[in-house]
Structure 1
Amino acid sequence: MPTDSATMIGLGVAAVVILWLVFSVLKKVIGFAVLAAIVAAAYFLWTNPALLQRVLMMLPG
């Protein structure tokens, strides 16, 4: 592994860019997963009126 400053700085910058790309992709994937879970829960409650009533009874107010 090279130890000169320019190479180490270049490797550090490359690592930061790669981490940024990975985390931005993960953020989108997690966002889509949360959105899919909300849609699935809404569909499940929409097609199951008995469970919807139980959920509504648990809400305060």
Structure 2
Amino acid sequence: MKDKAADIDHTLPQVAIDDRQVRQLAATTDLPSRQARELVRRHGNDPRKLEELAKSINATD
């Protein structure tokens, strides 16, 4: 019998994505909304961490 827990992808955090947070991150960091949403999905919803990551992305562009 297959374990259901084995089917869960544990590589990414399970985060409820807040559209308002995505829009705010995109506006304050000049990231496209799609990229801002991906940052939230991958790294969680800590605003300081997200802003730091977004700034590092902008610095490399």
- Normalising by structure 1, we get a TM-score of 0.30
**If you compute each CA radius of gyration, which structure gives the higher value, 1 or 2?**
1
Normalized per residue, the structure richer in helix is: 1
- Normalising by structure 2, we get a TM-score of 0.30
**Greater relative contact order: 1 or 2 (C-alpha under 8 angstroms, separation 6 or more)?**
2
